[in-house]
């Protein structure tokens, strides 16, 4: 009996069945405190339609689906193996020579990548004319573009510099509240008692967010990965606490007063943003492209290379004269900049800033985008972010039965675990990151990574 349990095939079948049951319950109806089993029994006994063909109880539907999925995987494996067998039989040059077909070589060229970017940009510019519904347009700005901004910012911190920051939402909050402050929507009077134009809140917010990045980073970035995560989590919570409680400074839980519309009044250049979401879309899109260009060039610059060095072997980097603290703080500040700008966009479009937006859950949502897309790869993060956010927006708009908008984080959490188990490098990882992770897993990474102990990232500080 024990041998049966150890059999890998049995284990695999058992695992698949467990996962199927779990998915059935996850997508099933809700329960509540008075009827705790309602969710469970409903998940299996309720009627569901099998792709509209026929209607049976859910457990039957899911068993069929499981069989189909298992069959599909087995089929795919079979096909893949027979293709490769045929390839091997075909010629000896299959493995020795380069396997890059002319098409592949074409696609790997930089010029084709630029062509692709231009196409996407053109499509993005024409998007508001395709989707003319105002509420959808606002959703695109607030739920997709803002999240992308935040994700590329977190990507600088977590992907480039390798620092897990769980309090990233704090910079977003600072950007939003700064906008309110500078335009006079907070109980505290604006700086110099001048009520600034919302547009000029943009440099203020970015500067303040970057400053906070430096201030938070300096004392905490000496800590090792796990501890840094918890401490940044704590700082995020503290910012939320202060925002929620300091009624006289931030408006407390009620939030700010109404923030004036974004507008430009520069001599002959006059433009009012108003309530129409389309100008916001273009403004945000413009800045997204700007940030993408800046971050991309940073990645390939000296700073970017310093980050890579610190990520791979901090002690060796230090011995080469790179000051790890300086570059880590720089990463914090730069990531904070895009978060600060995102805060301005949210504040000026939704016209009110309230604390419940800035929770830990939000930080985790952004983290999921970065992890899913591929830490360290800008294009990966953008694509991964788009995937998930579009899906989330779609689910919110037409939720299938058994889905409550609050279930989202259950799925995101499961997604994180699954990604870590199967593909920690993310869906579209940069080649360098993938190589790093492969090295660590093979155990060939430099020593400092494997033997780190204690909260500080120094081998010498291990207490004896």
Beta bridge mates, 292: none
142 binds other proteins (CB under 8 A): yes
318 binds other proteins (CB under 8 A): no
Buried b (16+ CB within 10 A) or exposed e, 187-217: eeebeeeeebbbbebbebbbebbbebbeebb
Distance of alpha carbon 250 from alpha carbon 257, whole angstroms? 10
Taking CB under 8 A as the binding criterion, the range among 64-72, 189-197, 322-330, 386-394 that sits at the site for other proteins is: 386-394
Q: By CB under 8 A, what part of segment 27-46 binds other proteins?
A: 30-34, 36, 39-40
Closest to other proteins by CB, 123 or 459: 123
109 binds other proteins (CB under 8 A): no
83 binds other proteins (CB under 8 A): yes
State which of residues 360, 432, 434, 446 lies at the interface with other proteins (CB under 8 A).
Answer: 360
229 binds other proteins (CB under 8 A): yes
Is residue 204 within 8 A of residue 186, CB to CB? The reply is: no
Taking CB under 8 A as the binding criterion, the range among 173-181, 195-203, 321-329, 345-353 that sits at the site for other proteins is: 345-353
Instruction: Output the CA angle 388-394-398, nearest 5 degrees.
Output: 145
387 binds other proteins (CB under 8 A): yes
Distance of alpha carbon 271 from alpha carbon 262, whole angstroms? 9
The DSSP letter of residue 35 is B
Task: Name the nearest CA neighbour of 148 among 293, 376, 433, 338.
Answer: 338
Closest to other proteins by CB, 233 or 333: 233
State which of residues 109, 118, 131, 194 lies at the interface with other proteins (CB under 8 A).
Answer: 131
State which of residues 187, 279, 424, 446 lies at the interface with other proteins (CB under 8 A).
Answer: 424
413 binds other proteins (CB under 8 A): yes
Task: Name the nearest CA neighbour of 425 among 409, 411, 446, 439.
Answer: 439
Taking CB under 8 A as the binding criterion, the range among 3-11, 204-212, 250-258, 262-270 that sits at the site for other proteins is: 250-258
Residues 6+ apart with CB under 8 A from 268: none
Q: Which helix (H) or strand (E) holds 271?
A: strand 269-272
Closest to other proteins by CB, 271 or 394: 394
Closest to other proteins by CB, 239 or 337: 239
367 binds other proteins (CB under 8 A): yes
301 binds other proteins (CB under 8 A): no
316 binds other proteins (CB under 8 A): no
Distance of alpha carbon 115 from alpha carbon 9, whole angstroms? 47
Q: By CB under 8 A, what part of segment 159-178 binds other proteins?
A: 162, 164, 166
The DSSP letter of residue 200 is G
> Distance of CA 39 to CAs 86, 115, 373, 402, 407, Å?
50, 50, 32, 10, 13
Is residue 447 within 8 A of residue 314, CB to CB? The reply is: no
Q: Least distance (Å) from other proteins to the CB of residue 143? A: 8
Label the pairing between strands 47-50 and 263-266. Answer: unpaired
Closest to other proteins by CB, 77 or 302: 77
Residues 6+ apart with CB under 8 A from 449: 312, 313, 440
187 binds other proteins (CB under 8 A): no
Residues 6+ apart with CB under 8 A from 91: none
State which of residues 59, 427, 434, 446 lies at the interface with other proteins (CB under 8 A).
Answer: 427
Q: Least distance (Å) from other proteins to the CB of residue 191? A: 25
67 binds other proteins (CB under 8 A): no
230 binds other proteins (CB under 8 A): yes
Closest to other proteins by CB, 67 or 79: 79
State which of residues 414, 435, 447, 459 lies at the interface with other proteins (CB under 8 A).
Answer: 414
Helix/strand/coil percent split, the chain, to 5: 70, 5, 25
157 binds other proteins (CB under 8 A): no
With CB under 8 A, what is the number of residues at the site for other proteins? 114
130 binds other proteins (CB under 8 A): yes
């Amino acid at each position: 009996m024990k041998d049966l349990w150890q059999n890998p095939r049995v284990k695999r079948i058992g695992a698949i069945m467990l996962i199927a049951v779990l998915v059935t319950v996850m997508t099933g109806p809700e329960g509540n405190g008075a009827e705790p089993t309602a969710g469970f029994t409903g998940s299996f006994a309720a009627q569901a339609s099998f792709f509209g063909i026929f209607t049976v109880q859910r457990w039957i539907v899911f068993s069929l689906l499981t069989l189909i999925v298992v069959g599909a995987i087995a089929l795919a494996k079979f096909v893949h193996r027979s293709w490769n067998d045929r390839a091997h039989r075909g010629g000896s040059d299959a493995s020795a020579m380069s396997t890059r077909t002319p098409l592949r070589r074409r696609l790997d060229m930089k010029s084709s990548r630029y062509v692709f970017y231009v196409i996407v940009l053109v499509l993005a510019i024409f998007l508001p004319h395709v989707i003319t519904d105002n509420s959808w347009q606002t959703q695109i700005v607030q739920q997709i573009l803002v999240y992308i901004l935040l994700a590329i910012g977190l990507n600088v911190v977590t992907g480039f510099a390798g620092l897990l920051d769980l309090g990233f939402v704090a910079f977003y909050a600072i950007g939003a509240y700064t906008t309110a402050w500078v335009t006079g929507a907070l109980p505290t009077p604006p700086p110099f008692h001048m009520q600034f134009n919302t547009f000029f809140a943009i440099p203020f917010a970015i500067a303040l967010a970057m400053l906070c990045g430096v201030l938070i980073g300096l004392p905490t970035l000496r800590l090792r990965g796990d501890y840094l995560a918890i401490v940044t989590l704590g700082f995020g919570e503290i910012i939320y606490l202060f925002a929620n409680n300091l009624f006289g400074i931030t408006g407390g839980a009620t939030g700010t007063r109404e923030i004036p519309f974004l507008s430009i009044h520069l001599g002959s250049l006059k433009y009012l943003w108003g309530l129409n979401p389309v100008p916001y879309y273009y403004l945000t899109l413009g800045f997204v492209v700007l940030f993408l260009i800046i971050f991309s060039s940073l990645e390939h610059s000296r700073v970017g290379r310093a980050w890579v060095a610190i990520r791979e072997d901090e002690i060796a980097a230090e011995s080469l004269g790179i000051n790890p603290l300086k570059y880590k703080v720089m990463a914090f500040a730069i990531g904070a900049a895009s978060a600060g700008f995102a805060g301005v966009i949210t504040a000026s479009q939704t016209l009110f800033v309230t604390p419940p937006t800035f929770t830990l859950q939000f930080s985790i949502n952004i983290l999921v985008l970065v992890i899913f897309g591929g830490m360290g790869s800008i294009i990966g993060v953008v694509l991964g972010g788009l995937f998930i956010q579009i899906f989330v927006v779609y689910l919110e708009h037409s939720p299938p039965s058994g889905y409550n908008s609050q279930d989202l984080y259950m799925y995101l959490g499961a997604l994180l675990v699954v990604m870590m188990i199967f593909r920690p490098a993310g869906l579209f990882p940069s080649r360098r990151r993938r190589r790093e992770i492969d090295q660590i897993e093979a155990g060939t990474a430099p020593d400092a990574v494997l033997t780190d102990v204690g909260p500080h990232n120094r081998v010498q500080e291990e207490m004896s």
